[in-house]
């Protein structure tokens, strides 16, 4: 008989193999294909890291240039997809829009065979910012934005479409860093969703659509939006401390803190925190950044809990003028690389993922006649 796992949430169980990343070795640390995320965030553009994750090696300059030209050429949206996006109301959640957009793309440009897995992934990478912003600008501003801009990077393309003008160098760099930090994270909930779907030999769009649904929840990617909704309620560090003490007394979860794997710190936090501080200086912020720092101090002191990748992303994105409800879709624009690479890895050595359950229901019994129930 199969062994019943002791802890809930499959915590601590090895559920498969991966050559893509290591998470939390000796309490902290994150590597993508053997490179430290800190090194990547400091020295690379997001497209280089996407190339690394998807194609297995860091690109040469010529390969990177060629990859960026390819991605640029794939930004356009088919008319039928635009028509669907135009019918989604302004008060829809952008994660739902993206889930629908990805699914519709699969209807229009489906993966005919697994030989196309690289091509359909690049297409999604290139056009997810177009999907989010086409819907956002149409539903909020009544504008049919031209999504085929000549911006150099995925982050700049997104910010340009959102605001109608090219971003500053600082904002483009922050987008590179943010997308690099969010790109890949081993067997997290959304990636595992994608791998389970892949293990049935389903198509890439189905795997990604399912993963978007998993990332949406506030215990996972949705935490960056939930963290923003919390910190914007606090008027000062003192107010933040007072409110957080109340939340902790009531045993409420504070979004953006804690982690299922890291036990000491999340290495992505110190990086995005530094950029959040730079952005705070840039906009002359005197509230949100100090409030965020106080939240971090209170959680460390009271619960020994640390900020995960999501917490300082909230203030960083806010300082760049990004609407809160677009925070988690940016996570998708990045994590798509990790999801797709895991799908490819699963396909390369597949067996359907199908664990067992310990039954806790009724003993075998007879079906009573309907008149006797």
Ligand X SMILES: CC(=O)SCCNC(=O)CCNC(=O)[C@H](O)C(C)(C)COP(=O)(O)OP(=O)(O)OC[C@H]1O[C@@H](n2cnc3c(N)ncnc32)[C@H](O)[C@@H]1OP(=O)(O)O
Does 245 help bind ligand X (rule: CB under 6 A)? no
The reply on whether position 310 binds ligand X by CB under 6 A is yes
- The answer to whether 23 and 185 have CB atoms below 8 angstroms apart is yes
Q: What CA–CA distance (Å, rounded) separates 215 from 331?
A: 9
Minimum distance from CB of 258 to ligand X (Å)? 2
Taking the least distance from each CB to ligand OAA, the nearer of 123 and 185 is: 185
By CB under 6 A, residue 260 contacts ligand OAA: yes
In contact, 254 and 299? CB cutoff 8 Å:
yes
Write out the catalytic residue numbers: 259, 310
Nearer to ligand OAA, 158 or 187 (CB): 187
Q: Give the number of other CB atoms < 10 A from CB of residue 249.
A: 9
Beta partners for 32?
21, 35
Q: Which residues of 73-99 are buried (b: 16+ CB within 10 A; e: fewer)?
A: eebebeeebbebbeebeeeeebbebbb
- Tell me: does residue 64 bind ligand OAA (CB under 6 A): no
Of the candidate residues 308, 315, 328, 346, the single one contacting ligand X (CB under 6 A): 308
Q: Determine, following the binding rule CB under 6 A, whether residue 273 of this chain makes contact with ligand X.
A: no
Which residues face 22 on adjacent strands?
Answer: 31
User: Six-digit token pair at 139?
Assistant: 């539903």
Dist CA 341 CA 337 (whole Å): 6
In the complex, minimum distance from the CB of residue 30 to ligand OAA, in angstroms, rounded to a whole number? 9
185 binds ligand OAA (CB under 6 A): yes
Tell me the per-residue interface mask from 292 to 311 with ligand OAA, x by CB under 6 A, - otherwise. ----------------xx--
Q: Check residue 255 for interaction with ligand X (CB under 6 A).
A: yes
Reading the block at residue 53, the tokens are 């994750």
By the rule CB under 6 A, 257 interacts with ligand X: yes
Is residue 267 a contact point for ligand X (CB under 6 A)?
no
Sites for ligand OAA among residues 16-45 (CB under 6 A):
23
Q: Residue 62, Cβ neighbours under 10 Å: how many?
A: 8
Residues 105, 76 contacting (CB under 8 angstroms): no
| Residue 254 binds ligand X (CB under 6 A) | yes
- Which helix or strand (DSSP H or E) is residue 93 part of? none
Taking the C-alpha atoms of residue 46 and residue 27, their distance in angstroms, rounded to an integer, is 26
Q: Is 180 in the site for ligand OAA (CB under 6 A)?
A: no
Nearest distance in Å: CB 275, ligand X: 16
Sole window of 102-110, 229-237, 247-255, 354-362 interacting with ligand X (rule: CB under 6 A): 247-255
Cβ atoms within 10 Å, residue 147: 20
Nearer to ligand OAA, 70 or 261 (CB): 261
Q: Which residues bind ligand X (CB under 6 A)?
A: 9, 219-221, 223, 253-260, 303, 305, 308-310
């Amino acid at each position: 008989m199969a062994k019943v796992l002791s802890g809930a949430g499959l915590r601590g169980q090895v559920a498969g193999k991966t050559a893509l990343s290591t998470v939390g070795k000796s309490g902290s640390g994150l590597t993508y294909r053997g490179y430290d995320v800190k090194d990547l965030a400091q020295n690379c553009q997001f497209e280089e890291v996407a190339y690394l994750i998807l194609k297995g090696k860091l690109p040469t300059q010529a390969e990177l240039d060629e990859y960026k030209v390819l991605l640029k050429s794939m930004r356009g949206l088919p008319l039928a997809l635009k028509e669907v996006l135009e019918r989604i109301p302004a008060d829809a959640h952008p994660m739902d829009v993206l889930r629908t957009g990805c699914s519709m793309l699969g209807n229009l440009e489906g993966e005919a065979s697994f030989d196309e897995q690289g091509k359909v992934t690049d297409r999604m990478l290139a056009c997810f910012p177009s999907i989010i912003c086409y819907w956002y600008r149409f539903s909020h501003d009544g504008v049919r934005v031209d999504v085929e801009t000549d911006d150099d990077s995925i982050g700049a393309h997104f910010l340009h479409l959102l605001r109608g003008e090219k971003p500053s160098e600082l904002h483009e760099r922050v987008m590179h860093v943010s997308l690099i930090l969010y790109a890949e994270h081993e067997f997290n909930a959304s990636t595992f969703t994608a791998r389970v779907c892949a293990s049935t030999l389903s198509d890439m769009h189905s795997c990604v659509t399912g993963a978007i649904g998993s990332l949406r929840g506030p215990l996972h990617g949705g935490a960056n939006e939930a963290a923003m909704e919390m910190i914007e309620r606090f008027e000062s560090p003192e107010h933040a401390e007072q409110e957080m003490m109340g939340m902790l007394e009531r045993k409420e979860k504070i979004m953006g803190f804690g982690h299922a794997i890291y036990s000491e710190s999340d290495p992505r936090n110190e990086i995005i925190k530094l950029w959040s501080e730079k952005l705070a200086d840039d906009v002359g912020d005197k509230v949100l950044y100090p409030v965020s720092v106080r939240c971090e101090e209170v959680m460390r002191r009271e619960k020994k809990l640390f900020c995960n990748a999501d917490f300082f992303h909230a203030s960083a994105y806010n300082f760049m003028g990004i609407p809160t409800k677009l925070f988690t879709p940016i996570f998708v624009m990045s994590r798509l690389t990790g999801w797709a690479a895991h799908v490819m890895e699963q396909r390369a050595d597949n067996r359907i993922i199908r664990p067992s359950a310990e039954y806790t229901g009724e003993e075998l019994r007879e079906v009573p006649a309907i008149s006797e129930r």
